Amino acid sequence: MSASDTPKRSMRTPLGRVRSLGAAHSGTSDFWRQRITAVAMTLLMIPVIVVIVMLFGRNQAFAAQTLGSLPIAVIMLLFIVASAWHMKIGMQVVIEDYVHHEKLKLVSIMLNNFFSIAVALASAYAILKLSSGV
Amino acid sequence: MAMSIVHRATGIALYVGTLLLVWWLVAAASGPAAYANVQAFTGSIIGRLIVFGYTWALMHHMLSGIRHFVWDLGYGFKANEREALTWGAAIGGIALTVLIWIIAYAIGGGR
Q: List, for residues A36-87, the tens digit of each pLDDT value.
A: 999 999 999 999 999 999 999 899 999 999 999 999 999 999 999 999 999 9
State residue B76 phi and psi, 5-degree precision: 75, 30
Give mean pLDDT, residues B14-38: 97
Q: Which of A30-34, B55-59, B106-110 has the highest mean pLDDT?
A: B55-59
Find chain A residues with C-beta within 8 A of B69's C-beta.
35, 38-39
Among chain B residues, the shortest Cα distance to A54 is held by B108
Check B25 against A39: CB less than 8 A apart.
Answer: no
Range of the domain at A115: 28-132
CA B100 to the chain's CA centroid:
10
Is A5 domain-assigned? no
Check A56 against B111: CB less than 8 A apart.
Answer: yes
Check B104 against A123: CB less than 8 A apart.
Answer: no
Reduce the DSSP state of residue B75 to 3 states and report it. coil
Q: Is A58 on the interface with B (CB under 8 A)?
A: yes
Residue B28: which of A45, A67, A119 has the nearest Cβ?
Answer: A67
Q: Is A94 on the interface with B (CB under 8 A)?
A: yes
CB-based contact B54:B60 (threshold 8 Å): no
Is A4 domain-assigned? no
Is A70 domain-assigned? yes
Is A11 domain-assigned? no
Is A103 domain-assigned? yes
pLDDT at A19 over 90: no
What is residue A10's predicted lDDT score, i.e. its pLDDT?
Answer: 78
Find chain A residues with C-beta within 8 A of B111's C-beta.
56-57
Give mean pLDDT, residues A103-132: 97
| Interatomic CA distance for residues A115 and B30, integer angstroms | 21
Is A38 domain-assigned? yes
Find chain A residues with C-beta within 8 A of B65's C-beta.
38, 42
Q: What is the dihedral of CA B21, B24, B29, B31, to 10 degrees?
A: 170
State pTM to two decimals. 0.88
State the pLDDT confidence band at A1, using cuts at 50, 70 and 90. very low
Is A57 domain-assigned? yes
Is A48 domain-assigned? yes
| Interatomic CA distance for residues B109 and B111, integer angstroms | 6
Q: What percent of chain B has pLDDT over 90?
A: 90
Number of domains in chain A: 1
pLDDT at B100 over 90: yes
pLDDT at A13 over 70: yes
Domain containing A47 — which CATH number? 1.20.1300.10
pLDDT at B111 over 70: no
